[in-house]
Amino acid sequence: MTQTLADPVPLQAEHRPAIEVRGLRMSYGARQVLCGVDFEVRTGEVFCLLGPNGAGKTTTVEILEGFRQRTGGSVRVLGLDPADQRSRLRERLGIVLQECGFPRQARVGELVNIWRAYYPAPRPLEELLSVVELTADRDCQVRRLSGGQRRRLDFALALAGDPDLVFLDEPTTGFDPESRRRCWAAIEKLRSLGKTIVLTTHYLDEAERLADRVAILQDGRVQTVGSVRQVARQAGVPTTISFTAPGPLRRGSVAPPGRLDVTVCGEVAVCRTANAAVALRELLAWAAEHDLGELDDLAVETPTLEDAYLRIVNGGAR
Ligand SMILES: Nc1ncnc2c1ncn2[C@@H]1O[C@H](COP(=O)(O)OP(=O)(O)OP(=O)(O)O)[C@@H](O)[C@H]1O
Ligand SMILES: [Mg+2]
């Protein structure tokens, strides 16, 4: 049975990485932007490249796509070197550029069909429009689309050739929350088909939601790479346990447990810890010992990707 983009079935993952980058260097004139970038993207994963403006995300992605010649280092994309095997790669890649222009008079369906004609085994038009939820807009001129709809059209074009590997450079920048969720759903559909996806974004909630692994690029290097949880642990951001401060703690007649970092701010007590299970046990024992009753509104908050990212780019983890 043929798999469709709209009705995903899992694909067998290949064993070799989809992308291998070793010691990648790139200079624009005298300015070195990438000074030895290393990472791998596994087949079938969503890999998210994060980093501040100007960190070199688009540069990296364009080198992987074969649009830019690197200054040094080794790169393999689906086993090929994009620097000199770009034509062999082309059919297997789907690309959404950070910015791109379209013939504005063309209609949505026409444009997708023009794109499909470039590929030997394109996905069906109806399916592409359905994945990006533009079926109702197929006769609409491109110039009449909203920014979010245009971005989803970019997405349909990237998928036209049924690529194995999809590059999405800031696919949801400028989207309203609903369009962003539609785009996320499309990315999740692709992933469930076994496609490999490389995504750049400045939206850390987007990365947290979609990415199997993230890499943070800064100062020309990958500062950290791993799953969101691994990155949060590597960044050393503490878990926060909060509860309503019992009266005796607020009044100072009972001291907080000595071995824990507990601060009281108004009605709320906050404990910051690297080991939530141990801290919780100690807090509950302390509350029982001092007859403080149950700790009301007890909540455990693990660090978000945003916490970890900010700490890493601000130098806290290095
Ligand atoms: N064609 C070019 N010629 C000269 N410098 C360039 C060129 N393209 C990018 N740069 C510079 O390289 C650096 C990295 O740019 P790049 O676009 O790769 O960053 P980015 O991480 O994608 O940033 P953003 O988050 O803003 O998209 C920037 O300082 C940029 O000014
Ligand atoms: Mg960019």
Q: Give the domain CATH number at 264.
A: 3.30.70
Reference 49, options 318, 309, 310, 236; nearest CA is: 309
As given in the structure block, the two tokens for residue 267 are 């009605």
Is 211 in the same domain as 262? no
Domain end among 204, 233, 262:
233
Q: Domain containing 220 — which CATH number?
A: 3.40.50.300
- If you measure from the C-alpha of residue 174 to the centroid of ligand 2, how many angstroms do you get, rounded to a whole number? 14
pLDDT band at residue 317, thresholds of 50, 70 and 90? very low
Strand-strand pairing, 196-200 and 46-50: parallel
Is 121 in the same domain as 247? no
- If you measure from the C-alpha of residue 217 to the centroid of ligand 1, how many angstroms do you get, rounded to a whole number? 13
For ligand 1, whether the C-beta of 191 sits within 6 Å is no
pLDDT band at residue 198, thresholds of 50, 70 and 90? very high
pLDDT band at residue 146, thresholds of 50, 70 and 90? confident
Is 298 in the same domain as 192? no
Minimal-distance CA residue to ligand 1 atom 16:
56
The sign of the torsion formed by the CA atoms of 159, 101, 198, 207 equals negative
Is 125 in the same domain as 186? yes
pLDDT for res 269 = 96
pLDDT for res 42 = 96
Is 108 in the same domain as 254? no
Helix axis angle, 147-159 relative to 108-116, nearest 10°?
Answer: 20
- Ligand 1: atom nearest CA of 98 is 27
Is 75 in the same domain as 200? yes
Flag whether 292 is in a domain.
yes
Question: Between the CA of residue 34 and those of 28, 216, 221, 242, what are the distances in Å?
Answer: 10, 13, 6, 42
Minimal-distance CA residue to ligand 1 atom 17:
58
Work out how many domains the chain is built from and give that number.
Answer: 2
As a whole number of angstroms, the distance between CA 22 and CA 81 comes to 12
pLDDT tens, residue by residue, 245-254: 999 999 999 9
Domain end among 233, 255, 270:
233
Is 280 in the same domain as 165? no
Flag whether 312 is in a domain.
no
Residues with Cβ within 5 Å of ion ligand 2? 57-58, 98
Flag whether 9 is in a domain.
no
* CA of 49, nearest ligand number: 1
Minimal-distance CA residue to ligand 1 atom 30:
54
70 and 25 Cβ atoms separated by less than 8 Å: yes
Strand-strand pairing, 213-218 and 46-50: parallel
Q: Tokens 């450079």 belong to which residue?
A: 169
Flag whether 317 is in a domain.
no
Instruction: Examine the pLDDT at 9 and tell me if it is beyond 60.
Output: no
Question: Between the CA of residue 159 and those of 54, 89, 114, 130, 215, what are the distances in Å?
Answer: 27, 14, 13, 12, 24
Domain end among 187, 203, 233:
233
For ligand 1, whether the C-beta of 201 sits within 6 Å is no
Strand-strand pairing, 221-226 and 213-218: antiparallel
For ligand 1, whether the C-beta of 33 sits within 6 Å is yes
Tell which wins on pLDDT, 219 or 100: 219
Instruction: Examine the pLDDT at 130 and tell me if it is beyond 60.
Output: yes
Is 130 in the same domain as 186? yes
Reference 159, options 188, 125, 133; nearest CA is: 125
Is 218 in the same domain as 254? no
pLDDT for res 318 = 44
pLDDT band at residue 155, thresholds of 50, 70 and 90? confident
35 is in which domain, residue-wise? 19-233
186 and 155 Cβ atoms separated by less than 8 Å: yes
Flag whether 313 is in a domain.
no
List all residues 6 or more positions away from 124 whose beta carbon is below 8 Å from its beta carbon.
4
